[in-house]
Amino acid sequence: MQHITRPLPSITQDNEDFWRSTREHAARLQRCNACEKFWYYPGPVCHNCGARNWTWTLLSGVGTIYSYSVLERAKGNPYEEDVPITIVLVRLAEGPVVMSNLFDYEPGELAIDAEVMIDYEDVNDEVTLIVFRPARR
Amino acid sequence: MATRAIIAGIGESPLGKVPGMTALGIIVDAALNAIEDAGLTVQDIDGIILHPAFHVSPRYHIIVAETLGIYVKTMADTTMMGGASYGVAIERAKQAVESGLCKNVLIVGGEKLATGHVSGSAMMASVGAHNLDYEYPFAATIPAYYGLLAQRYLHDYNADESDLAQIAVATRKHAARNPNATMREPISVDDVLNSPIISSPLHRLDCSLVSDGGAAYVISAAGTSKDPSREVEVLGIGQAQSYYHMGQLAEGKGDHDLVRTVVDVAGKRAFSQAGLTPAEINMANIYDSFTITVIVQLEDLGFCERGTAGKFAAEGNIDPGGKLPVNTHGGLLSNAHPGACGGMLGFTEAVRQLRGEAGLRQVAKHDNALVSSASAVASNFSVSILGAPIQ
Ligand SMILES: [Zn+2]
């Protein structure tokens, strides 16, 4: 996998269950017990209805590309030397849209509505990020 | 009779590369120029608004006021809305003057983005608009955010990169008529498309400049400045904010999503107060952090149909002499972009135009002007409709 020098997220009481699930390569998001919707990013209340009860629920791992941009210049950022970097917004099958990176794709596979699947990048012992690859049947 | 707030004075510091002045020096210069333009003295100022991001203290508005020697203020505020701050600030100042809270509010900003040193990551952190936990780890820069917006726009409307480029080309035509603009050489659509990609589909010439500079305005009660025949009217003003996290912005709500922004909400309020329709607007200074920022605002404000802003520009509508000249000073794309206060330059230019003081680039009909300011991936907006002095 392409190396990217990553700024790291802060792990807090609001998101530690999420980051534990990605470390286990089995990503879960909160699903509201009241309205049954998923939301992203993790937080202390349902983003849809305001309920404060949820269940950490395993994701199917599939989604489609909502938009993309290939970053070619990033002067002054920690990943300045790692460009080009393919940034994607992926609409998960569960509903939420997440920002991530797409790896190991052929030119035609970087397209809006193209199907992708979750992969994992272990950045260090604490942080594993959700990344994506094309979903090939 | 009820007090009516007006723009009494405007000021700018030197713009572009200003290595010989500190940020504080730039801010003071712009402030004093605006106070002088209004025919007031520093002691007449009893309110201040400044956006302190990029500065050494979160209370930088107080430091600026104490540097100027303004001891007692009855309002000292920050409007922490990034590029939209200095439009939002006018709404605050207008309310303060019309309610009797303040007599003369100084709105001032200034930054050293060109010869200071703000790295990408420091900028990301200090701007505060972008998600450091769930977006920045994936190498999202500000141009990348706008690249994601632009790519989705091109997809939804079957448009292409040349539609974006039209905005840069038209803006440069205006800059050519501004002797103080940083970039004045004419450019073509091919020049834009041949400039390097920063974050696809955005090329270098789709992106705004990085500049030093500052600007200021003074909001007072009508009839109280040195020369009431130069007082510019605030006919209508509105603001609207949505989300910062791009995924949540994309999921949207109701009629709005990533490419259908909430600027229409701010715009409807401003148009309704002014009693004007988009077709009646004489000129518009539309916040142009990137070409795509102008495209979505032209459409969402109702100046053209969704998906047609590139064509609208290609037909000459936003050129000098066009139906709706846009960014007559050359905008952030070609004039100068000194950070969050860059949007102030759209106001100072509109005031010059409405007073008939814009020299070689004076628009023929200047009864009114729309000014928008925006920030954070087209999620914060302020829309003002200003009117020519009532003679
Ligand atoms: Zn819910």
CATH of the domain at B11: 3.40.47.10
pTM score: 0.96
Q: Are A71 and B199 inside 8 Å of each other by CB?
A: yes
8 Å CB contact between B204 and B161: no
Nearest residue on chain A to B117, judged by CA atoms?
Answer: A76
- Domain annotation covers residue B267: no
Stretches where chain B sits below pLDDT 70 are 117-128
The beta-carbon neighbor of A87 closest among B134, B138, B248 is: B138
Q: Which residues in chain B are contacts of A70 at CB distance < 8 A?
A: 147, 197, 199-200
Range of the domain at B103: 5-117+211-221
Cis amide bond preceding A40, omega within 30: no
Residue B304 near residue B159, CB atoms below 8 Å = no
CA distance B63 to chain A (A): 29
Q: What is the pLDDT of residues B320-336, one digit of tens each?
A: 999 999 999 999 999 99
pLDDT of residue B120: 58
Neighboring chain B residues of A95 at a CB cutoff of 8 Å: 251
Domain boundaries defined on chain A: 16-134
CA B240 centroid distance within chain? 14
Q: Report the pLDDT value the prediction gives residue A65, as an integer from 0 to 100.
A: 98
Q: Which of residues 76-115 of A touch B (CB under 8 A)?
A: 76-80, 82, 85, 87, 89, 91, 95-101, 112
| Cα–Cα dist B151/B225, whole Å | 48
Cβ B352 vs Cβ B10: under 8 Å: yes
Q: What is the pLDDT of residue B119?
A: 58
Q: Give the separation between CA A34 and CA A49, rounded to whole angstroms.
A: 8
Give me the total of CB pairs closer than 8 Å, taking one residue from chain A and one from chain B: 129
Per-residue model confidence (pLDDT) at position A1: 78
Q: Which of A19, A46, A67, A79 to mutate to test the interface with B (most CBs of B within 10 A)?
A: A67
- CA B88 from chain centre, in angstroms, equals 10
Cα-based distances in Å from B179 to B10, B187, B225 = 18, 17, 29
- Asked if residue B50 belongs to a domain, the reply is yes
Q: How far is A53 from chain B (nearest CA, A)?
A: 20
From the list B342, B202, B230, the residue with the least C-alpha distance to B286 is B342
Exposed/middle/buried for residue B362 (C-beta within 10 Å: 0-12, 13-18, 19+): middle
> Tell me: domain A16-134, CATH 2.40.50.840, correct?
yes
CA pair distance B15, B337, nearest whole angstrom: 9
In order of A40, B255, B290, the CA distances from B252 in angstroms are: 13, 8, 22
Question: Taking a C-beta distance cutoff of 8 angstroms, is the pair B13, B336 a contact?
Answer: no
- CA B34 to ligand 1 centroid distance, Å: 50
Tally the domains of chain B.
1
Nearest to A41 by CA among A8, A73, A19: A19
Q: How far is it, in rounded angstroms, from Cα B12 to Cα B14? A: 7
The residues, ordered by sequence, that sit 6+ positions from A95 with a Cβ below 8 Å of its Cβ are A37, A38, B251
Q: Are B88 and B81 in contact (CB under 8 A)?
A: yes
> Does any domain span residue B323?
no
Identify which of A66, A69, A73 has the shortest CB distance to residue B250: A66
Residues of B in contact with A71 (CB under 8 A): 139, 141, 143-144, 147, 198-199
Residue B327 DSSP label:
-
- The reported pLDDT for the residue numbered B118 is 60
Taking 50 as the pLDDT cut, the residues of chain A under it are: none
Query: Does residue B61 form part of some domain?
Result: yes
Ligand 1 midpoint to CA A127 (Å) = 27
